[in-house]
Amino acid sequence: MILVLVTIICGIGEAAQVEYFNVMDYGAKGDVITDDSVAFLKAWNDTCNSETDEPTMVIPRRQFFLRPTTFRGPCKSKVHFAFLGVLFAPSGPKEWKELNDTVKFIEFEYVNGLYIHGVGLINGRGKGWWDISCRYHPDLKALRFHKSNDIHMSQIRIIDSPQTHILLLGCNDVEFEGLFIKSPDGSPNTDGIHIQATNNVFINSSFIGSGDDCVSIGDGISNVNITYVTCGPGHGISIGSLGGSGNVVNVSNIHVRHAIFNGTQNGARIKTYQTGRGEVRDVEFSDIKFIDAGNPIIIDQYYCGNPNGCPPTNVGVQISNVSYTDMYGTSKADVAVNFNCSGNVACTDIKLENINLTSSTIGKQVTSSCNNAYGEAKGTIEPKSCLNSKT
């Protein structure tokens, strides 16, 4: 084991001690064949227990094979993860089953203060999972953050996750910047980033292309800012689906700005089950470009994973104060603006301003459709608004 301790002078009377823990010094081979999980955990243990200012675990520019691995805190300091190499997941369903962990590949749990940076790549090797029905395997994540706070990750690449690429579950104060996430169009349930029971999330300047939602926002969420994200392929940026188990949902203060949807199945989407209750409020979609996108603007409160399997109810999720501003481009759907709101609980205070959507097919016209949706429109609106101004 070789430790490098560096003292950085930050100013008069100030010094930061940076201690480096390189996985190669703990026995990692970096040959893609050898299981380097134990070496990674040993390096993490020393990093997490270091009392220096900036303990840093180093993954050099080598290719590593890992079993499902959890880096668990709490740690004695805020820790850094200098991620420069490539991490390969187990190759397929049979190997995952033998490892007896079918929840995640890489997980950070109970870590408060985490900085992941570099040009590293996580390869989830998901094709073996995509080739079998989703019903026969659980929801595997390439990278999972669980009950961790003050997370910062930049310039990391994640490809071909078996299912969700990044999961945030029970976290607070998260910042992602410059991420590259990619899996093929049609790969099942490969959400780019899924957020659940998490607050204060900032996703900036990233590319996400997947077989499912580029970003999906679940229940128990507040204060999410998504800016300068290019989405495609994928199912769009979605709030939901919500309320599938009949629970009371609570989602608020969601802002999606300066985004591009390129060839996506949906664009700016809110989707709830008929069984849901609670509220979605204070949502903003602004400065959005659509390129041959399906359903560019959509609220679907009759979402159902099983056709004809969701009977009518007398409840619904209250959707209110949702604004769509400065959105333009081409729609491959005939209905470019679709507010299909609950017959039990109307969508209220919907705002449209400067919307200019045209058909991807030359000569065709796009339309709007509204069901129990109330609000106002101003500026240039194309297609013409169908919102009802009176509740």
Among this protein's residues, is 212 annotated catalytic? yes
Q: Using alpha carbons only, what angle is made at residue 228 by residues 168 and 89, rounded to the nearest 5 degrees?
A: 40
List of residues 6+ apart from 306 with CB closer than 8 A? none
Report the candidate in 341, 351, 337, 349 with the shortest Cα–Cα distance to residue 391: 349
Among this protein's residues, is 25 annotated catalytic? no
Which of the residues 212, 213, 219, 300 is marked catalytic? 212
| Residue 128 three-state SS | helix
Query: What's the one-letter identity of residue 58?
Result: V
Encoded tokens for 30: 């970096």
**How far is the C-alpha of 83 from the C-alpha of 43, rounded, in Å?**
13
**How far is the C-alpha of 279 from the C-alpha of 285, rounded, in Å?**
18
Exposure b/e, 261-285, CB count within 10 A at least 16 = b: bbbbbbbbbbbbbbbbbbbbbbbbb
C-alpha distances in Å from residue 250, one per residue of 194, 220, 281, 308, 311: 16, 5, 8, 27, 23
**How far is the C-alpha of 105 from the C-alpha of 99, rounded, in Å?**
11
Report the candidate in 257, 261, 264 with the shortest Cα–Cα distance to residue 285: 257
Which of the residues 80, 146, 194, 235 is marked catalytic? 235
Report the candidate in 149, 90, 146, 89 with the shortest Cα–Cα distance to residue 114: 149
For the annotated catalytic residues, the residue numbers are 212, 235
